[in-house]
Amino acid sequence: MANYISENDIEQECIPVLMNELGYDEHLNLWQLPDDGNAVFGRSQAAEVVRSQILQASLHRLNPAITADVLTAAEQELTQSRAHLSLFDANQAITKLLREGFDVPTQDSKGNYTKQRVRYIDYQHPANNHFCVVQQLTIRGKATRRPDLIVYINGLPMVFVELKNAVESTRQAYDKNLTDYKRDIPTLFHYNLVVVLSNSTETKVGSHTADYEQFFNWEKISDESESTVPEHEIDLLRVLRGLFQKHVLIDLLENFVLFYANRAKIIAKNHQYLGVNNAIESFRKRDENKGKLGVFWHTQGSGKSFSMAFFVQKIQRKIKGQFKFVIVTDREDLEDQIYKTFVRTHLIETAQGNGRGKPNAIGRAPDGASLVRMLTDASPYVFTLINKFRTNPKEKGKPFPELTSSTDIVVLVDEAHRSQYADLGENMHRALPRANYIAFTGTPLLDADEKTKEWFGDYVSRYDFADSVADGSTVPIFYQNRVPKVLLQNDTLNEEYAEILEDENLSDEQQERLTRQYANVTTVITDNDRLDTIAKDIVAHFPERGYLGKGMVISIDKFTAVRMHDKVKRHWEDRIKELRGQINKLPVGSPERTELDTKRKWMRETELCVVVSYEADEDSKFSKEGLDIRPHRDMMNRTWGDDHETIEDRFRNPADRFRLAFVCAKWLTGFDAPTISTLYLDKPMQNHTLMQTIARANRVAPALADDGSVATANSLKVHEKKAGVVVDYIGVFTRLEKALAKYARSQGGKSEYPAEVFDDLLGYLNAAITEAVRFMDSQGLPVTQLTDSSQAFDKLAQFQAFSDALSRTEELKKEFSVYQTAITSFYEACKPDILTESLLPESPYRGKYKRIKEVFEYLRKIISRQVNHTGDYENAQVKASQLIDESIVSTGYSIESLSEIDLSGIDFDLLQQKFQQKPYKHLAITDMVDFLRNQVQKLLSRNVNRVDLAQKLNDIIANYNNVSSDVQAFFKALKEYAEQLREEEKRAAAEGLTEEELEIFDLLFKDELSPAEKTKVKAAAQHLLQKLQETEVQRTVLTVDWYKDVSLQGRVKKLVGDVLDSDLPDSYDRQIFTEKRDAVYQHVYQQAAQGRVYWA
């Protein structure tokens, strides 16, 4: 048996922390309680998720001066059905109510109307709210589900916790469990604040709308300087002690949730929560700090714009005053990005759009005169470029005038250390001498940034590159030096060149003028042969990567960007022709041909585009260089589709075929496209500009399939973005080291920078293989006998024996899958370099990497050949239809399977005989379990009341995994269970009912019915379905979307009640009748809301 921590173990560990350490008020364990624990929980039926009695008591406690009828109206407003809304819309509506309260118009004794505001949550005193942790609450919806843990606040289900055992991934908790729960019991997530997924050693936190890649760690409890979780501490317990504190959850609900662009709920990450609260404390002490709120340094890719929004939102909600927020940037694209964040999160309400999805620019200062007016009027927000503080040429020599002496102005400056802020920053401070200043930056203050400290103070929050990578907020960056043989001879001059570009932060036009002053450097960099060599290397590298993310080719100027595009495009087309010739020489259907076909298709689909800024008379300038900018400019100015997608939108979209951009300055800062994974750097740069550029590749991004599309559960192979890669053609590594040392300097002064060379990445693969071999040895399975043999796949019997041994328990299979996934992931991350193993550094595995990967993948495929019910990315690679690795198919090997079993005609005695003859019984068990899971799922899809059958199968499996390893006993239990399924499949016919009638009958059934009463209940089920199918009822009551109309909902409920009242036996007293009527109505309602209207 594998040594692992079970879900139950983890669940039980959580309770003492919540109850004893954090002081929660109540704990309910509803496991195996009668009637789904409804009485203990406080509800009438299992479809309800709100604890009405606790909610009512909380409303009375928090609103003692408000009458009972008003509180009842507030409760009804909160708990009304929102099944007609999307999960996002329902959650947004409820969150707004919880934050703002419910205003009820009331009339006093004199007849005057006033509004009374009902509070649902006490935000001032978090401990005054009722906190309860609920284990194993059964919830009936489209299917019946039982979440592991739910944290209730004032009777509302606010925190959803899904637990897996220690050898299962949190990814599986997301892909299978969370996804199923949102589909089957959506009402639970109408009230949800935050979702937590954990296997005890890894815990992920996120919103119910987030993709898995957007889930994050929460490892620091109250201080940014805390270390990450020590090895001896369970990760989940650290999260409980931090996130689950009463005041933290209440603070998160009130101040750290944003609803973005009507599609995504954004929850502050751990570093944002701590950092913004630090900034808020600094703001509270603004008089003491003399308006210097500090420098907020959070590395690129960590959500700086959202941190700004959280900061503003909390000031507005928590600190009294009429504050004006001035957001200052130095570039239009950055201003546009931050402005859109504020608009799309509804911090700024815009006027009517202009018809193309672009809101009118409320709060933006288009010129200096507008800025002066907005700074002195009642505008709550002012977005401006720093250059609007430029002195009027007519008043040259005079100091910039003071515009207002207000102390209620909060100035948020983006990247304040850049050189544009030098003189203009002085003007800004003269204009707003008593304002409060905070600087937000993605790069640290370097030695030359003393003026920034003088204006803003020291760091108020720090979250550097190393923190971000360790936290999982960004991916690490790996560096490859691929400088061509045509080298720059004067490294000092090259560095000086980059330094001037950095210090001056010039526009595109100014950079070109500077380039002409350093013609010798430019001549070398733009040498035609040199560029051609680089273009060939890009074409050889870009399509051969494991993760086929987007790429950027960064050139020294616009002309070179266009030349590189043309050269790469020519070599790209030549490569496509070469592939066609190679494909024609290979047998149809061979793995090699399939692989090359996929690659060629991807290359043919891929679009290469130039993206550079516009300047006057550019046509003639490019023409003088022998280039044509017009087709590129047309592409840059074009929009696509009804949504008028721009070229920026297309590059951000991971599914779009625009995959390789050629740039020189545009998009190097302030542009976020998460699937950028590779940068081809051929431009001298350093310090802030260098760090901001390489950070384009550090974003967390969706997994991709072999063909470059976004991966789904059905993708056969999945490639996750493990890292970003910087391919250096200019020799920038020395300056990269210097910049990273400053950029990732830890708070203890230690220099740590997570940009690593390729050899380090290969080292991770070596370590993964070593650990995997050690694991196999511990199971008595000498896998090196397979990996060290050049004829490994001739040893099919040994593969079967190893796979059978690894299939002894579910936990052992999952533990093996962890090692196999690590090997495959790091192997894919090492592409394309690892494809030429003879050129790799010396290691114990050189020359065997590919074979080792294939051996572990083949074992995984034998083990998981039919286990595709989890739906997660890892198991999607081993679907039954793709049992054998492409490298093995040609040998003619196949894998035996019992999957042809048909339940209706099964001969169980014969099946047991076949089982006794099987040499690999654990593999046969795998087939049997998966088959039975599929069968019970089919039965469940026809009748929601069969959930106990599904649970029984899980119990049988759990008993085998946790208690007994007797494979014969396990198979016997499965055989008996299969017989029970067969009887259940026949039950509708045996009762003389259709499947639909049986489903209603089961909902109406109660214990101790006489034969005559049972007949009446059957008749009631049949009569109700007939009534629902009547044409007049369909026309007047069960109209399209009736479940969205409150009045029609009441009519349907009455119709159900009337039929049952006339048909059910007298033994159904008022209480039982009400329960059964509500259960049937809720079933009809849920079926309609989910489109399963079998009575129509």
**What's the one-letter identity of residue 875?**
N
Return the pLDDT at 660. Answer: 98
- pLDDT at site 127: 97
Say whether 346 sits in a helix, a strand or coil.
coil
Higher pLDDT, 907 or 948: 948
For residue 894, the model assigns a pLDDT of 32
User: Residue 1032's pLDDT is what?
Assistant: 84
Residue 1091 zone, left/alpha/beta (φ > 0; ψ -120 to 50; rest): left
**pLDDT at residue 420, as a whole number:** 57
Predicted confidence band at 863 (pLDDT cuts at 50, 70, 90)?
confident
Q: What is the number of other CB atoms lying within 10 angstroms of the CB of residue 585?
A: 9
Tokens of 599: 């690659």
The average confidence (pLDDT) of the chain is 82
- 567: pLDDT confidence band, cut at 50, 70 and 90? very high
Tokens of 848: 């065997």
pLDDT at residue 971 above 80?
no
- 839-862 pLDDT, tens digit per residue, is 788 888 888 888 898 888 888 888
Cα–Cα distance between 631 and 62 in angstroms, integer? 65
Q: Write the CB contacts of 662 (distance below 8 Å, at least 6 apart in sequence).
A: 552, 553, 555, 561, 562, 564, 565, 568, 608, 609, 610, 611
pLDDT of residue 906: 52
Which tens digits make up the pLDDT trace of 219-231? 899 988 887 665 5
Helices (H), 788-920: 796-806, 810-829, 849-863, 873-876, 886-889, 908-917
Which pLDDT score, from 0 to 100, does residue 638 have? 95
pLDDT in tens, 588-635: 988 889 889 999 999 999 999 999 988 888 999 999 999 999 999 999
Interatomic CA distance for residues 874 and 819, integer angstroms: 12
Six token digits for residue 260: 């973005």
What's the confidence (pLDDT) of residue 228?
65
> pLDDT band at residue 515, thresholds of 50, 70 and 90?
low
Q: Is the pLDDT of residue 883 over 60?
A: no
Query: For the residues 193-219, what does the mean pLDDT come to?
Result: 94
Q: Write phi, then psi, for 906 (nearest 5 degrees).
A: -75, 140
Q: Give mean pLDDT, residues 541-552.
A: 93
The model's confidence at residue 281, banded by pLDDT at 50, 70 and 90, is: very high
Q: How confident is the model at residue 867 (pLDDT cuts 50, 70, 90)?
A: very low
pTM for the model: 0.74
C-alpha dist (Å) from residue 721 to 79, 380, 542, 643, 849: 41, 41, 15, 28, 20
* pLDDT (average), residues 672-676: 88
Model confidence band, residue 5 (pLDDT cutoffs 50, 70, 90):
low
Lowest mean pLDDT among 365-374, 478-487, 680-689, 998-1007: 478-487
Q: pLDDT tens-digit profile of 371-422?
A: 999 998 888 999 999 988 888 767 777 888 999 999 999 999 998 666 556 6
Residue-wise pLDDT tens digits, 1040-1084: 778 777 778 888 889 999 989 999 999 999 888 888 898 888 888
C-alpha 420: how far from chain center: 36
User: Taking residues 183-202, what's their average pLDDT?
Assistant: 94
Are the CB atoms for 949 and 940 separated by under 8 Å? yes
The dihedral sign for the CA sequence 245, 251, 252, 253: positive
Per-residue pLDDT of 154-169, as tens digits, reads 999 999 999 988 778 8
Listed residue (989, 1094, 997) closest to 1038, CA to CA: 1094
Say whether the peptide bond before residue 919 is cis (omega within 30 degrees of 0).
no
Which range, of 354-358, 561-565, 572-576, 986-990, averages the lowest pLDDT?
354-358
- Give the pLDDT of residue 586: 92
Question: What pLDDT is stored for residue 902 in this prediction?
Answer: 44
Task: Decide if 461 contacts 278 (C-beta within 8 A).
Answer: yes
- The whole-angstrom separation of Cα 293 and Cα 273 is 17
Helix ranges (H only) for 244-331 are 246-255, 270-284, 304-318
Tokens of 1043: 């479940």
Residue 569 corresponds to which amino acid? K
Separation in Å, CA 348 to CA 158, 313, 733: 27, 11, 43
Distance CA 950, CA 939 (A): 9
Secondary structure letter of residue 745 according to DSSP:
B
Q: What is the DSSP letter of 149?
A: E
pLDDT at 454: 78
Run of H or E including 160 = strand 156-163
* Chain center to CA of 693: 24
Q: Specify whether the CB–CB gap between 301 and 698 falls below 8 A.
A: yes
What is the residue-wise DSSP string for 451-484?
HHHHHH-SEEEEE-HHHHHHHTSB--EEEEE---
Element (H, E) at 913: helix 908-917
pLDDT at 961 (0 to 100): 61
Stretch 211-220: mean pLDDT, rounded?
A: 92
Kind of pairing between the strands at 676-681 and 607-610: unpaired
Distances (CA, A) of 948 to 147, 791, 981, 988, 1017: 15, 49, 12, 17, 22
The predicted model gives 967-990 an average pLDDT of 77
Two tokens at 945? 């009341």
537 closest CA partner among 612, 481, 478, 597: 481
pLDDT at 404: 93
